[in-house]
């Protein structure tokens, strides 16, 4: 995936933030097949799509192949639907390249961005009974048990004092959404302007936010809801 395409995806999120859409105002999106969280910029992107398209809040996504394994079919794109029907998310893969060091050639790791397309629960039809059995019997429940009265922004700042204000806003928002407290904070005008000027600012804040969220889940000794790539 080219950097230009990645920057375009991130710019779309900034546009939704300008329209007062708050991606962390609903629960963290999950993969329907693995029951793992989508994290970082992907979580903001998927939740922005849910809000804009007014999908129901069953926040489950999967690739075409994964839905098929769950006995679901992706519904054909409606004739009046404008734009991309599926939603692209990104994955960072560590690849190797040979570097000439004179007398020796070394293999060095470098990050490579790959994109793939996922579809929301609203975009599929299938065997709902089979899916419920699959989900209940094979996948861990990752619900938080921490008190709803917790002031997450203060709590997270104590865990990691160096966190940026935007990372704290995103992380506390998602945690409050998971618990249904209704305590959601918008992005500040200052952070919005910084995100508009450099999308990397938003990407880094989203990544740091999920590192904080993962710390909370680890402190709660909950089953892992994160993929290996989040480590």
Map the chain to HEC letters.
Answer: CCHHHHHHHHHHHHHHHHCCCCHHHCCCCEECCCCCECCHHHHHHHHHHHHHHCCCCCCEEECHHHHHHCCEEECCCCCCCCCCCCEEEEEEEEEEEEEECCCCEEEEEEEEEEEEEEEEHHHEEECHHHHHHHHHHHCCCCCCCCCCCCCHHHHHHHHCCCCCHHHHHHHHHHHHHHHCCCCCCCCCHHHHHHHHHCHHHHHHHHHHHHHHHHHHHHHCCCCCCCCHHHC
Task: Note the pLDDT tens digit of each residue in 175-198.
Answer: 999 888 889 999 999 999 999 999
Q: Residue 28 pLDDT more than 80?
A: yes
Q: Residue 162 pLDDT more than 50?
A: yes
CA triple 131-178-91, angle to 5 deg: 70
Q: Domain ranges for the chain, please list them.
A: 3-223
Listed range (82-86, 122-126, 181-185, 224-228) with the worst mean pLDDT: 224-228
Task: Note the pLDDT tens digit of each residue in 42-66.
Answer: 999 999 999 989 998 888 999 999 9
Give the pairing of strands 72-74 and 105-120: unpaired
Share of the chain above pLDDT 90, in %: 50
Q: Residue 122 pLDDT more than 90?
A: yes
Q: Which residue has the higher pLDDT, 142 or 40?
A: 40
The pLDDT value given to residue 207? 93
The pLDDT value given to residue 107? 59
The pLDDT value given to residue 230? 45
Mean pLDDT of the 21-32 span = 94
Q: Residue 148 pLDDT more than 90?
A: no
The pLDDT value given to residue 224? 66
Task: Note the pLDDT tens digit of each residue in 66-115.
Answer: 999 999 999 999 888 888 899 999 886 655 666 666 666 665 654 567 88
Q: How far apart are CA 214 and CA 231, in angstroms?
A: 9
């Amino acid at each position: 995936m080219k950097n230009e395409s990645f920057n375009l995806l991130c710019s779309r999120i900034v546009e939704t933030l300008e329209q007062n859409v708050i991606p962390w105002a609903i629960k963290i999106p999950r993969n329907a097949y693995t029951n793992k969280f989508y994290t970082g910029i992907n979580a903001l992107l998927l939740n922005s799509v849910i809000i804009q398209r007014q999908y129901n809040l069953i926040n489950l996504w999967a690739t075409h192949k994964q839905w098929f394994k769950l006995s679901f079919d992706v519904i054909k794109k409606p004739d009046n639907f404008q734009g991309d029907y599926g939603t692209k998310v990104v994955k960072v893969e560590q690849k190797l390249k040979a570097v000439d060091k004179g007398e020796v050639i070394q293999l060095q790791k470098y990050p490579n961005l790959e994109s793939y397309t996922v579809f929301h629960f609203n975009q599929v039809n299938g065997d709902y009974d089979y899916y419920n059995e699959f989900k209940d019997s094979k996948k861990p429940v990752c619900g938080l048990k921490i008190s709803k009265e917790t002031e997450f922004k203060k709590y997270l700042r104590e865990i990691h004092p160096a966190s940026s204000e935007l990372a704290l806003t995103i992380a506390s928002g998602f945690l409050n959404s998971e618990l249904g407290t209704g305590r959601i904070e918008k992005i500040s005008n200052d952070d919005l302007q910084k995100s508009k000027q450099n999308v990397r600012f938003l990407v880094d804040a989203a990544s740091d936010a999920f590192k904080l969220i993962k710390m909370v889940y680890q402190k709660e000794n909950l089953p892992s809801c994160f993929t290996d790539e989040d480590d």
